[in-house]
Structures are given as C-alpha cells and as structure tokens.
C-alpha cells in the first residue's frame, strides 16, 4: 500500500493531496532559504503560531453566521489575517521598543498561541465545535480532505512557488549582501516585507497539510540540509526546493497510506532523514568527510615528523608513524631508513630549514604566511626563489660589531 501511495495509485484525491504537498514543500524550501540566509528563521515560528487565533475566530464567525465553520477558504483567510497581525506586532516591537527581535518573537508567539488555545476551548463548548476538526491544523492532516480543499491547497502552493521563483533575484541579493543591495538602489525593507509575505503565504497554505506547529520545520530543514552540499547561494535555493518538495511528497504519500498518523510529523521526519543523511555523507561538510580529512591530515603529520626524525637520526617510538613509514617504503621494521626514505628525509629536513629561513626574512613575509609545517615549499616559491633561499642558507652570516 505504501508503494501504491508513492506511485500515486491511491485515487484522485490522494494524488492531488500528494502533488499539492510537493508543491508546498518546494515553495517552503525555496522561501525558507531566504529566511535562513537572513538569519531570521524564528520569524517563521512566530508567523505559524500566530495563525491559530485567526483559524479559531474564522470558525466561530462562520458558525455564528450559520455557514459551514470548516470552510477551508474562510479558515485560511482568518489564519492569514491573524498571521499578518502577528508579523506587524513583531515588527513594531522590534523597531519601536528596546526589545530585540528574538524577544519580540517570543512574546508574540506565546501570546497568540495562548489565545488560540483558549479559543479552541471555547469552540469545543459550541454545538458545531465538537465536529470542528480544527486539531488537524495543529499537526496537519490529509485524512478526509475534500477534493475542493486539495485543489485550493495545490493551486495556492503553485502560485506561491511561482512568486518565490519570480522574486528570487532581489531576495537572494538582499539575503546574501543587504549592504550591496542598498548600494545598488534596492529597497531592502520592501524586499524583507515581500519575503515575510511569501513566508506568510507558505505558512497559511501549509496549515492543513503540515500544521502550524510543524510548518516552521518545513521552512528551515530543507535549506539547512542543502547548505551541506554547496557553497553557492543559487544552488542552495534549488537544492532546498527539491528537498522540500521530495520530503513533502514522500510524507504526504506515507500519510495517505497510513491515515492514522498525522501528516505534518511524517513530513518533518522525512525531511530530518535527508538532513541526517547530509550531515553524515555530504562531501566537504559532512561528518564522514570531516573524519576522512582528519585522518589524511593526521597521516601527513606522522609522515612529516617521521621523516624529520629519520633525517636527524632520532629513534621513532610512535607505532603509527613507523607503520606509515613502512607502508610508504621509507623505513624498515626496525626503524632504519631505506634508500628512498633517506632521500625523502633529507628533502624534508632541507625544506624545513628553508621554511625557517624565509620565516625570519621580511622579504618573504607573504610566502611565510603559508607555512603550516606540511605544505610543500615548491607550491609557494618559484625555483629561482628557492635557489635564492638556498644561497642564503649556505652564505656565511655577517659578523656583528
């Protein structure tokens, strides 16, 4: 059944929800990249928690007017209005008072979410409240979603993704280098406002699928994961969108196959799986790559120190050093240097003397800055410069009077 869900074989509604979730994940991944680059990830948390009172108020108003309190457009409209109010509160507190942005976010997040929980309790006392199903907005749920709801989510996610792609250039410039963006005439304040608007749109659209508690993870985990794989901002945007879409696609498909499990947590766990894989295996930034680099560095240090010991006729007590020298064919079992080992040792000692010479000469200050005890001097100095250093080493020192 899980395979059928992944292959979109569980029916029209399930297919539509899965595709809508994938579009939402792509929009969240791309939009979250700019929050990540601007170091404003917590803003998404405030926006998501600020949606709960709006959902509850919208339900109450629609129920009191005799309508269907579960109308998705009405609920999302209430969520958008409430989230916008919360965002304005954060902006006002951080710009008009002495509160830092993180303190303003914490205040707005807790107050709005507390108000939402109180309103949920009020709704449970209403006649229509017992069938509200608003708890699905907390953790996300696709079970029982109507085709019209799925179409609304899929269409809104596609529009949001298109807007993010359309605005990616000014958003990237403002996120990566706001000073340069200002110097080129770009209004960074308006760009930040547009970024917050896109995050708000992603948050509101994703309430039904991911839930307000988990939507922040869908915004932040993909760009954090993508950062392990590349150094370029445009590549982070693309990889983050792909990872967000794939996480949401797999999570929504699994939720359709396992309807008793909430959708939001499954999507987040799938995204965390990609994050863990990247943390362990990404080239350059992953833990495995770091361990390999450390082992290679350790090997170079042992070989360097072993060669210097051979050149100076010193015994080698470190088993790892002797084992590495033997593996390279530079030493015998008893630690005696081979012919190749003596040549290598003499070269290592000569290079060390060269390095010490240029480090004490102000004329070679730029070259001396590259010294780390392991770097080959030929990669820093030209053959003519090396000959000059050798003449300095062989020349007698002037007599000081």
Going from N- to C-terminal start, the domains of the chain cover: 2-220, 288-394
DSSP 398: P
Q: Residue 56: which of 156, 143, 135, 123 has the closest Cα? A: 123
In DSSP terms, 337 is beta-bridged to: 331
Q: Residue 276: which of 313, 225, 329, 202 has the closest Cα? A: 225
Cβ neighbours for 48, distance < 8 A, ≥ 6 positions apart: 83, 203, 212, 213, 215, 216
Q: Report d(CA 152, CA 209) in Å as an integer.
A: 12
- Give the class (CATH, top level) of 2-220: mainly alpha
Chain-centroid distance, C-alpha 230 = 10
pLDDT at 5: 64
pLDDT at 326: 92
pLDDT at 131: 52
Helices (H) and strands (E) in the chain, counts: 19, 0
Structural contact between residues 59 and 123, judged by C-beta atoms closer than 8 angstroms: yes
Q: Report d(CA 56, CA 326) in Å as an integer.
A: 74
Its sign, for the CA torsion 333, 339, 342, 343, is negative
Cα separation values, 56 from 68, 129, 138, 145, 165, Å: 13, 10, 12, 19, 32
Q: Residue 112: which of 141, 89, 135, 93 has the closest Cα? A: 89
Half-sphere exposure of residue 62, counting CA atoms within 13 Å on the CB side? 21
In DSSP terms, 331 is beta-bridged to: 337
pLDDT at 395: 52
What angle, rounded to 10 degrees, do the helices at 287-311 and 263-281 form?
10
For 297, the token pair is 């560095």
DSSP 56: H
Q: What is the CA radius of gyration of the chain?
A: 31
pLDDT at 4: 67
Calculated CA dihedral for residues 98, 102, 107, 108, nearest 10 degrees: 110
Report the SS3 class of residue 9: coil
Q: Residue 157: which of 218, 224, 234 has the closest Cα? A: 218
pTM score of the predicted model: 0.77
Give the total residue count for the chain. 401
Q: Report d(CA 26, CA 160) in Å as an integer.
A: 10
Name the one residue in this structure whose structure tokens are 């070269």: 347
pLDDT at 132: 56
pLDDT at 257: 81
Under-50 pLDDT residues of the chain: 396-401
Structural contact between residues 345 and 352, judged by C-beta atoms closer than 8 angstroms: no
pLDDT at 215: 84
């Amino acid at each position: 059944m899980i395979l059928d869900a992944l292959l979109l074989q569980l029916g029209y509604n399930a297919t539509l929800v899965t595709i809508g979730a994938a579009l939402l994940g792509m929009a969240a991944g791309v939009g979250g990249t700019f929050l990540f680059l601007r170091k404003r990830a917590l803003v998404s948390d405030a926006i998501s928690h600020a949606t709960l009172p709006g959902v509850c108020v919208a339900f109450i108003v629609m129920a009191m007017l005799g309508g269907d309190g579960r109308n998705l457009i009405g609920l999302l409209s209430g969520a958008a209005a409430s989230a916008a109010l919360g965002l304005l509160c954060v902006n006002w507190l951080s710009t008009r008072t002495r509160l830092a942005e993180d303190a303003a976010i914490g205040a707005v997040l807790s107050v709005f979410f507390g108000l939402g929980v109180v309103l949920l309790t009020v709704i449970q006392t209403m006649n229509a409240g017992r069938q509200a199903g608003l708890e699905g907005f907390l953790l996300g749920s696709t079970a029982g979603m109507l085709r019209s709801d799925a179409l609304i989510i899929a269409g809104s996610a596609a529009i949001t993704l298109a807007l993010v792609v359309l605005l990616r250039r000014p958003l990237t410039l403002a996120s990566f280098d706001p000073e340069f963006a200002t110097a080129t005439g770009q209004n960074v304040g308006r760009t930040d406002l547009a970024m917050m608007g896109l995050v708000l749109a992603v948050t509101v659209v994703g309430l039904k699928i991911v839930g307000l508690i988990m939507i922040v993870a869908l915004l932040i985990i993909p760009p954090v994961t993508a950062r392990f794989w590349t150094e370029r901002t445009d590549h982070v945007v693309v990889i983050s969108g792909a990872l967000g879409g794939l996480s949401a696609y797999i999570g929504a498909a699994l939720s359709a196959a396992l309807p008793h499990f909430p959708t939001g947590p499954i999507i987040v766990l799938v995204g965390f799986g990609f994050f863990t894989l990247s943390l362990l295996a990404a080239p350059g930034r992953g833990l495995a790559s770091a361990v390999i680099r450390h082992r290679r560095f350790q090997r170079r240090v042992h070989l360097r120190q072993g060669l210097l010991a051979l050149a100076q006729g010193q015994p080698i007590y470190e088993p790892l050093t002797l084992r590495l020298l033997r593996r390279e064919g530079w030493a015998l079992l008893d630690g005696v240097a081979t012919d190749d080992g003596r040549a290598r040792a003499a070269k290592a000692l000569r290079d060390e003397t060269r390095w010490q010479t240029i480090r004490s000469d102000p004329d070679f200050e730029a070259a001396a800055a590259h010294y780390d005890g392991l770097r080959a001097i030929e990669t820093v100095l030209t053959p003519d410069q090396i000959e000059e250093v050798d003449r300095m080493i062989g020349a007698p020192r002037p007599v000081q009077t």
